[in-house]
Structure 1
Amino acid sequence: METVYKTVMMKPQDNVAVALSNIPAGTVVQMKCRGKIMTVKLKDLIEFGHKFAVVPIKSGEDVIKYGEVIGLAVKDIAVGEHVHIHNVEGKRGRGDKMSHAK
């Protein structure tokens, strides 16, 4: 029997989807989003709540989840690759990078 894994992709412009359970590397998953259907073979284990690329993301491009920019790719990210802190830098304010203007 084939296991069906659930994912979330909320907006057609998203370039990542989110795993709703642990999904093994090599698994083929299908996302449906507002009439858009995408099929992706995962290159990595994707743990619950983690993201994976549904299209190629070039270094320097925005990472888009739920229709919102959540970070910047710091290296090329292939379809099916785990998208996390090793290949994305956040764009939102970080306490350790705040300028301390006087």
Structure 2
Amino acid sequence: MTDPRLLLLNPEDNVLVLRRGIDAGERFEVGFCEIVADRSLNLGHKVARHAIAEGEPVLKYGAVIGVATAPIPAGAHVHVQNVRSNYTPTYSLPEDGA
């Protein structure tokens, strides 16, 4: 059973999307595992549906959105600290605006 605060967008996805924020220290379920959030997570952020190995594609909407740059445990926040985007080489814009 997965926590109702989390949304699976596609059965192939290895991430779940938060339907509402979860505070640091709050417990939530991913599959049959109980996770304690190590940080506050906002609405719309992603957590790992199951462990994702370094180099493994990250799937959302059934499509590859990036590649894990480090091992990601089940329930961990999936974001720029552990995923390289397939859409942009960086999450910041060049300083000259070019």
**Bin of the TM-score, shorter chain as denominator length:** 0.7 to 0.9
Greater Rg over alpha carbons, structure: 1
Any gaps of 5 or more consecutive residues in structure 1? 31-37, 97-102
CA deviation after TM superposition for structure 1 residue 81, in Å: 0.5
Aligned Cα root-mean-square deviation (Å): 2.3
CA deviation after TM superposition for structure 1 residue 46, in Å: 2.1
Between the aligned residues of both structures, percent identity stands at 34
Cα deviations by residue, 1:9-57 (Å, 9 ceiling, x for unpaired):
1222111001011112441235xxxxxxx24424433211100001100
TM-score by length of structure 1 reads 0.71
In the other structure, the counterpart of 2:48 is 53
* Cα distance in 1 for residues equivalent to 2:60 and 2:17: 8
Structure 1 runs of 4+ with >3 Å offset: 93-96
Any gaps of 5 or more consecutive residues in structure 2? 93-98
Between the two proteins, the alignment pairs up a number of residues equal to 86
